[in-house]
Structure 1
Amino acid sequence: MGRTRTEVTARAPGKIILSGEHAVVHGSTAVASSINLYTSVSLRFSSDSENVLKLELKDMELEFSWPIERLKQVLPDFDSPSPSAPKSCSTDSLKSIASLLEEQNIPEAKITLASGVSAFLWLYTCIHGYKPAIVTLTSELPLGAGLGSSAAFCVSLSGALLALSKCCELDYNQQSWVALKDSELDLVNKWAFEGEKIIHGKPSGIDNTVSTYGNMIQFRSGELTRMKTSMPLKMLITNTKVGRNTKALVAGVSERTLHHPNAMASVFDAVDSISKELSTIIQTPAPNEIAVTEKEEKLEELMEMNQGLLQCMGVSHVSIETVLRTTLKYKLRSKLTGAGGGGCVLTLLPTLLSNIVVDKVVAELESCGFECFIAGIGGNGLEVCFNDSTQT
């Protein structure tokens, strides 16, 4: 017999919203970007003698395991999986999957993971049926902070599953990270969206699209446009660790819009202009250091303006204001990213900024109990890497 690959690792990036959150719900343009913080999923088919499907969540020191026979009993429709035809999880299938989760005794403190584990079972059985395997997950992204952790999970999982299916033509001898073809990425994105639907109910599709293709996207009224950035940007991302209720924040903006329709229409128009200008700046070449600095200064101003408008919408928070004040002391501009009400704050780190200043800012923010990450934005999307060859 020949040699085949039976182990693959896929990684997919998180995302930030550079401009336009909340306003996008009311028809404005928004811009999202990938960040170079990744979720990785490793998939290894195991021998039939083991006859179990295992999911290991390394960061949480949790492990789930299902006998293949049990999967066949509860999910009887996957004898002939169809990886090339993404499909939605029906209410009945979701109930069946829920019964498989109940048997796992997920600790109460980690019960929010249940929807992610449900997405895993659906995507795995749809794409590979009842093959025994060990799937391992690690992530650099904080959960529930608005950095697209669930989408990065769904994209990296779908990427790993499809890389070992007949849907992808990949060079199995490639030992380094490789990107998939556009048509293969399209398929990954569709499957990842099905996973996101299980986790979030009605996701916009923005998070999984950014995570799949990388770089940046502009979106408005459901239309997504992929963008190419010509300048490397670095952001300090501060996780306030304050949880928030996204639905309640979105509803609050809608209520304010009902109370003040004309004023809020002007706010949304201004956000739309900021997103469009930001897109133009990011895509304009910067041939030298002076041009880069000028572009960064304009982007800082736009971020600050966007933050002011988010405050007008009522989605800021005392923790966000603390980050804004702290970074402003060092002449750095910041804005919230995502739903607001806590979550994460972005601070642009100009190219010529000294590392000493960055270290001081980070130290001061961490002394407030916040968590800081430094990330490049607009980088690669999903990539896969084959780990070893196994005789078959």
Structure 2
Amino acid sequence: MTMMEVRSRAPGKIILAGEHAVVHGSAAVAASIGIYTSVSIRLHSQLSSSVDKDDILTLRLMDVDLEFSWPIRRIKEVLPDSASTIASSPATCSPETIKLISVLVDEHKIPEANIGIASGVIAFLWLYTSIQGNKAATVTVSSELPLGSGLGSSAAFCVSLSGALLALSDSVTVEFSREGWVAFGEKEQQLANKWAFEGEKIIHGKPSGIDNTVSTFGNLIKFKSGALTCIKSNMILKMLITNTKVGRNTKALVAGVSERKNRHLDAMTSVFTAVDLISNEFASIIQSSSDDDIEKEQRVEELMEMNQGLLQCMGVSHTSIETVIRTTLKYKLTSKLTGAGGGGCVLTFLPSLLSETVIDKVIKELEQCGFQCLIAEIGGNGLEICFDGCS
């Protein structure tokens, strides 16, 4: 038996400006962050044409310390058509197929504390069998992204998995390199993004497609009324990302903003218009070729401050978010929530001239509140593949 192995990684994402208002027609700006989910696939290729009845597909989720394995013959029993999909033609998983795959997942009795990952395991089985068919393999997933915190962990998982699976298929051409991580070409990125979106649909029902697109292509994306535009940044942005660890109900928060709009139509329409202007100016500053980075940083800080004030107007802030804002303000740093609000994560802009000593003090104080802190560069590479021992 020979082994074929590939590794892939895909970044998480943040919303820099425009969350919630985007639902009401305003522009928003999202960016990849230099924090990744990685997938390693070791394909077990039979030398003989006979199929070993003990061939197994194994999924290892390192961050939750769980392992799943299914005999290939069992997958064929439950999903008899699993090898008939064409990897170059992404397909939607039907509700009937989701029920069938759920049977395979339920056989593993996921602990109650980890029950939220069940939809991710279903997405894994759909993507794997659709792209690779009934091949035995060991798939290992590890992530630097906190789960369920609004940083796009599920999209990074789906993108990274789709990229690795496609790299082992005949549907894409990837330049083999021993130099480390390599990017897909645009055509291959488009294909990986479409498959990842199908995985996201299994996990989230009706995702916007923004998270997987940012994770696949990297850098920044401006989006408005369903149209996505890739943005190339001309400035280095560094953020402190604080995970408040406060869970939130995104649907309830979105509904709350809509209800507030219904009660105060003119005022809320003005709020959404202001957010639209902020998002567009944010994108303009980031793309600007001006050499005055200090001035650009000051404008970014002001826009973040204004955006946060408008998010408070929408009613989506939270005491944990306000704690982060007050703490960072003591050090003259600007913060805003990112994503749905009501908890989740907060962005703090780190100016290029800020000393490491100050950053350490801020992080220490925030961690004493029970929060988790991550530092990330904004707008880096998207999906990348590695074939030979890169790290």
- Shorter-chain TM-score: what band? over 0.9
1:72-122 deviations in Å (ceiling 9; x for gaps): 010111233310000000011000001111101111110000000000000
Aligned with 2:130 (options 102, 126, 129): 126
2:286 aligned residue: 282
2:68 aligned residue: 64
Task: Report SS of the residue matched to 2:26.
Answer: coil
1:46 aligned residue: 44
Task: Report SS of the residue matched to 1:257.
Answer: helix
In structure 2, what residue type is equivalent to 1:372? C
2:358 aligned residue: 357
2:376 aligned residue: 375
Q: For 1:308 and 1:80, locate their aligned partners in 2 and report how far apart those are by CA, in whole Å.
A: 52
- On the 8 A contact 1:24/1:220 being kept in 2, the answer is yes
Query: What is the Cα deviation at residue 168 of structure 1?
Result: 1.5
Unpaired runs of 5+ in structure 2? 47-51
1:27-62 deviations in Å (ceiling 9; x for gaps): 000000000000000001125545010000011111
1:257 aligned residue: 261
In structure 2, what residue type is equivalent to 1:256? R
1:188 aligned residue: 192
In structure 2, what residue type is equivalent to 1:235? M
- On the 8 A contact 2:83/2:130 being kept in 1, the answer is no
Query: What is the Cα deviation at residue 63 of structure 1?
Result: 0.2
1:214-229 aligned within 5 A: 214-229=218-233
Alignment pair present for 1:295 and 2:296: yes
Q: For 2:85 and 2:23, locate their aligned partners in 1 and report how far apart those are by CA, in whole Å.
A: 36
Query: What is the Cα deviation at residue 169 of structure 1?
Result: 1.1
2:49 aligned residue: none
Going from structure 1 to structure 2, the CA distance change for 1:80 and 1:97 (only over 3 Å counts) comes to: same
Number of aligned residue pairs: 382
Going from structure 1 to structure 2, the CA distance change for 1:69 and 1:341 (only over 3 Å counts) comes to: same
1:10 aligned residue: 8
Task: Report SS of the residue matched to 2:110.
Answer: coil
Task: Report SS of the residue matched to 1:134.
Answer: strand
Q: For 1:84 and 1:175, locate their aligned partners in 2 and report how far apart those are by CA, in whole Å.
A: 27
Q: For 1:47 and 1:284, locate their aligned partners in 2 and report how far apart those are by CA, in whole Å.
A: 50
Alignment pair present for 1:248 and 2:252: yes
Q: For 1:387 and 1:135, locate their aligned partners in 2 and report how far apart those are by CA, in whole Å.
A: 16
- On the 8 A contact 2:337/2:347 being kept in 1, the answer is yes
In structure 1, what residue type is equivalent to 2:279? S
Q: For 2:44 and 2:190, locate their aligned partners in 1 and report how far apart those are by CA, in whole Å.
A: 28
1:322 aligned residue: 323
Q: For 1:262 and 1:84, locate their aligned partners in 2 and report how far apart those are by CA, in whole Å.
A: 48
- On the 8 A contact 1:17/1:30 being kept in 2, the answer is yes
In structure 1, what residue type is equivalent to 2:31? S
Q: For 2:278 and 2:202, locate their aligned partners in 1 and report how far apart those are by CA, in whole Å.
A: 33
In structure 1, what residue type is equivalent to 2:43? F
- On the 8 A contact 1:175/1:386 being kept in 2, the answer is no
In structure 2, what residue type is equivalent to 1:214? G
1:95-114 aligned within 5 A: 95-114=99-118
2:32 aligned residue: 34
In structure 2, what residue type is equivalent to 1:312? C
1:174 aligned residue: 178
Q: For 1:75 and 1:175, locate their aligned partners in 2 and report how far apart those are by CA, in whole Å.
A: 39
Alignment pair present for 1:202 and 2:206: yes
- Normalising by structure 2, we get a TM-score of 0.96
In structure 1, what residue type is equivalent to 2:354? L
Q: For 1:173 and 1:253, locate their aligned partners in 2 and report how far apart those are by CA, in whole Å.
A: 49
Task: Report SS of the residue matched to 2:77.
Answer: helix
Q: For 2:83 and 2:378, locate their aligned partners in 1 and report how far apart those are by CA, in whole Å.
A: 42
Q: Which moved more, 1:100-109 or 1:242-251?
A: 100-109
- On the 8 A contact 2:3/2:43 being kept in 1, the answer is no
Q: For 2:286 and 2:206, locate their aligned partners in 1 and report how far apart those are by CA, in whole Å.
A: 30
1:80 aligned residue: 84
Q: Which moved more, 1:297-306 or 1:44-53?
A: 44-53
- On the 8 A contact 2:36/2:145 being kept in 1, the answer is yes
Query: What is the Cα deviation at residue 171 of structure 1?
Result: 2.6
Q: Which moved more, 1:22-31 or 1:165-174?
A: 165-174
- On the 8 A contact 1:304/1:334 being kept in 2, the answer is yes
- On the 8 A contact 1:320/1:336 being kept in 2, the answer is yes
Pairwise CA RMSD: 1.1
Task: Report SS of the residue matched to 2:388.
Answer: strand
Using the aligned pairs only, state the percent identity. 68
